[in-house]
Amino acid sequence: MKVIEKIREATAANDDRVVFSFEFFPPRTEDGVENLFERMERMVVHNPTFCDITWGAGGSTADLTLEIANRMQNMVCVETMMHLTCTNMPVEEIDNALTTIKSKGIQNVLALRGDPPHGQDKFVQVEGGFACALDLVKHIRSQYGDYFGITVAGYPEGHPDVIQDGVASAEAYQNDLAYLKRKVDAGADVIVTQLFYDTDIFLKFVNDCRQIGITIPIVPGIMPINNYRGFIRMTGFCKTKIPDEIMDALEPIKENEDAVRAYGIHLGTEMCKKIMASGIKTLHLYTLNMEKSALAILTNLGLIEESRISRSLPWRRPANVFRVKENVRPIFWANRPKSYIARTLGWDQYPQGRWGDSHNASYGALSDYQFMRPRARDRKLREEWAVPLNRVEDIYENFMKFCLGELKSSPWSDLDGLQPETRIINEQLGSINLKGFLTINSQPSVSGVQSDSPSVGWGGPGGYVYQKAYLEFFCSPDKLNALVDKCKQLPRLTYMAVNKQGSWTSNVNKTDVNAVTWGVFPAKEIIQPTVVDPESFLVWKDEAFEIWSRGWAKLYPETDPSKKLLEEVESSYYLVSLVDNDYINGDLFSVFKDI
């Protein structure tokens, strides 16, 4: 979705809602990239309107920026705006970048001229390229019509090129404004400003823009001060005015990083309060790839709250323009959403995906992608799961510890620890794991709980949510037989079980689709975002079994006996999916008594 539409949608509601966004830059190392994505995951749960990724000076990070933008939009599922500059970019390369992001479902570009490449003083138009951001905006509109939302840069103090001895002359400032208006007239629909520390200058700039007929949103760029030297370097480079009181406050604490950061949070908060008091409802935070200060400012402003994190669906809604209407998923990949997205990339029938006609789309084949892990996660898994396994009970114990929250990682989950709803049943999960029912997915039953409940809610306030109790686990053939016997006496239970070789047993038909989560909201049809179905289960089972070797056994040296034990379990156990369809009176865990 275009950022302008999101801003309009949010600010049109007459409820004083203020929206915010985060800027990131491409890190230099692979580890840095992985760390950034982990940080981003933690930040996007607070629902920023968009996140943007910069284009390295002179195009130095072009490929990486494109790759990060794609991952942000499609895997992190956050509305992404990619910066694009004209520096060193002939028009073919500009088009290459634009068609690439278009094909990835990204709809937002921050169109910039760019700074001169490293070591040069002045911007030089490359042969076959553009002279300024205005040219780029015109090009995007003429070649891509309305597909892209276009944001441009605005400079409350004037562009650094025209700032002399700390200020832009009145004439240069007016020229800059007039030029900004031309960028808007050419098709830009949002302005994000250069950083500033004098809020009055920003408010005057907004007023001046309005005076000359610029009506689109002007989003203030706020850069929290994280450390003194970085602050001096950045404001020097951008020729930003620093009010005396800020220098006076920083001078005595400049060697104390914690104190500087605390002051930066205080200052950022006060600046935003003043901006919001003037009626502006959008804030853009230059995070410098750090999360603490940006989140602290938003918390101080009351715009985010740890306990108020809300989900629009039980899974994070995709941002990709082609699948933004997706509304149903099988439950199996609940803890591996990125793998699910990767395996369904080719589906072109959203909102229904394959659920409209289940014979249509098939899942992408299992690939190395499903087993790649960021290094930090790999380290955590090694620490927690590469423990000596002498008997099968040692395996049970690891599963149990994960359910009790004693381990933070699991080879079967991409998420950080347990989902909030799992904590409702973690004691029961712990005890069945110790019996050899090795759970990898679950949900408690819910009957008509308010949709803004912090543990099981989704879809925002005003509705009611429901779900059937669900368990998915590995167990030995003996245990499966005992369970099947029990299920025969309890017709409210439906199950599917399959081993690695494909031996199948179940009490449902192969074409049955069971809704296990649904919600009732004012003035809407019933929303039914999670299902259990045999066809997807049979696709998922290959991935689930493969994780024994490629996710867990791989953590051990080749000759380690633990590895052999894991392989035995992988080849002999069944994967079981069990639903208690009585979401009002059922008790799924009672079935494990006496087994």
23 is catalytic: yes
Binding-site member from 45, 57, 324, 595 for ligand FAD (CB under 6 A): 57
Binding-site member from 62, 112, 260, 381 for ligand FAD (CB under 6 A): 112
Q: Pick the closer one to ligand FAD by CB: 161 or 397.
A: 161
Closest distance to ligand FAD from the beta carbon of 135 (Å): 8
Which of the residues 67 through 96 are near ligand FAD (CB under 6 A)?
A: 83, 85
The stretch near ligand FAD (CB under 6 A) out of 14-22, 113-121, 200-208, 524-532 is 113-121
The stretch near ligand FAD (CB under 6 A) out of 52-60, 316-324, 417-425, 514-522 is 52-60
Residue in 186, 83, 182 with CA at minimum distance from that of residue 143: 186
Closest distance to ligand FAD from the beta carbon of 43 (Å): 19
Q: Pick the closer one to ligand FAD by CB: 141 or 266.
A: 141
Q: Is 139 in the site for ligand FAD (CB under 6 A)?
A: no
Tokens read off for 530: 């999670």
Closest distance to ligand FAD from the beta carbon of 69 (Å): 11
Q: At 196, is the secondary structure helix, strand, or coil?
A: coil
Closest distance to ligand FAD from the beta carbon of 378 (Å): 31
Q: Pick the closer one to ligand FAD by CB: 130 or 545.
A: 130
CB-count exposure of residue 324 (10 Å: 0-12, 13-18, 19+): middle
Q: What is the CA radius of gyration of the chain?
A: 27
Contact 364, 357 (CB under 8 A): no
Number of residues that bind ligand FAD (CB under 6 A): 23
Binding-site member from 194, 235, 439, 451 for ligand FAD (CB under 6 A): 194
Binding-site member from 98, 133, 403, 440 for ligand FAD (CB under 6 A): 133
Q: Pick the closer one to ligand FAD by CB: 56 or 534.
A: 56
DSSP letters, 506-567, are ESS-TT--EEEEEEE-TTSPPEEEEEE-HHHHHHHHHHHHHHIIIIIGGGS-TT-HHHHHHH
Tokens read off for 352: 């229904």
> If you search the block for the tokens 């047993």, which residue do you land on?
505
Q: Pick the closer one to ligand FAD by CB: 75 or 223.
A: 223
Tokens read off for 460: 């925002």
Cβ-proximal residues to 278 (8 Å cutoff; 6+ apart), any chain? 203, 206
Q: Where are the beta strands (DSSP E) in 328-454?
A: 329-330, 438-443, 446-450
Q: Is 451 in the site for ligand FAD (CB under 6 A)?
A: no
Rounded Cα distance between 179 and 99, Å, is: 27
Q: Is 114 in the site for ligand FAD (CB under 6 A)?
A: yes
Name the helix (H) or strand (E) containing 35. helix 30-44
Q: How far is the first Cα of the chain from the last one, in angstroms, to the nearest whole number? A: 51
> If you search the block for the tokens 């990131």, which residue do you land on?
24
Rounded Cα distance between 180 and 24, Å, is: 24
Q: Is 157 in the site for ligand FAD (CB under 6 A)?
A: no
Closest distance to ligand FAD from the beta carbon of 82 (Å): 9
Q: Pick the closer one to ligand FAD by CB: 284 or 336.
A: 284
CB-count exposure of residue 210 (10 Å: 0-12, 13-18, 19+): exposed
Q: Is 55 in the site for ligand FAD (CB under 6 A)?
A: yes
The stretch near ligand FAD (CB under 6 A) out of 28-36, 175-183, 402-410, 476-484 is 175-183
Contact 408, 417 (CB under 8 A): yes
Q: Is 64 in the site for ligand FAD (CB under 6 A)?
A: no
Annotate each residue in 218-247 with x if it binds ligand FAD (CB under 6 A) or - if it does not, as one string. Answer: ---x--------------------------
Q: Pick the closer one to ligand FAD by CB: 221 or 551.
A: 221
187: left (phi over 0), alpha (psi -120 to 50) or beta: left
- Omega within 30 of 0 (cis) for the link into 351: yes
The stretch near ligand FAD (CB under 6 A) out of 89-97, 173-181, 308-316, 337-345 is 173-181
Q: Is 132 in the site for ligand FAD (CB under 6 A)?
A: yes
Rounded Cα distance between 352 and 323, Å, is: 10
Binding-site member from 77, 106, 140, 153 for ligand FAD (CB under 6 A): 153
Q: Pick the closer one to ligand FAD by CB: 115 or 535.
A: 115
Closest distance to ligand FAD from the beta carbon of 70 (Å): 16
Q: Is 159 in the site for ligand FAD (CB under 6 A)?
A: yes
Q: Is 54 in the site for ligand FAD (CB under 6 A)?
A: yes
Q: Is 318 in the site for ligand FAD (CB under 6 A)?
A: no
Binding-site member from 71, 113, 139, 554 for ligand FAD (CB under 6 A): 113
Contact 519, 464 (CB under 8 A): yes
Residue in 330, 351, 347, 369 with CA at minimum distance from that of residue 538: 330
Residue nearest to ligand FAD (CB): 159
Give the distance between the most distant pair of CA atoms in the chain: 86
Contact 341, 75 (CB under 8 A): yes
DSSP letters, 46-90, are T--SEEEE---GGGTTHHHHHHHHHHIIIII---EEEEEE-TT--
Q: Pick the closer one to ligand FAD by CB: 7 or 432.
A: 7
Q: Pick the closer one to ligand FAD by CB: 65 or 439.
A: 65
Closest distance to ligand FAD from the beta carbon of 80 (Å): 13
Rounded Cα distance between 133 and 371, Å, is: 42
The stretch near ligand FAD (CB under 6 A) out of 27-35, 54-62, 346-354, 440-448 is 54-62
Q: Pick the closer one to ligand FAD by CB: 182 or 382.
A: 182
- 341 - beta bridge partners? none
Residue in 272, 271, 253, 274 with CA at minimum distance from that of residue 262: 253
- 5, 23, 127, 525: the catalytic one is 23
Q: Is 192 in the site for ligand FAD (CB under 6 A)?
A: yes
Tokens read off for 239: 């020729």
Catalytic residue numbers read 23
Name the site residues for ligand FAD (rule: CB under 6 A): 54-55, 57, 83, 85, 110, 112-115, 132-134, 153, 159, 161-162, 175-176, 179, 192, 194, 221
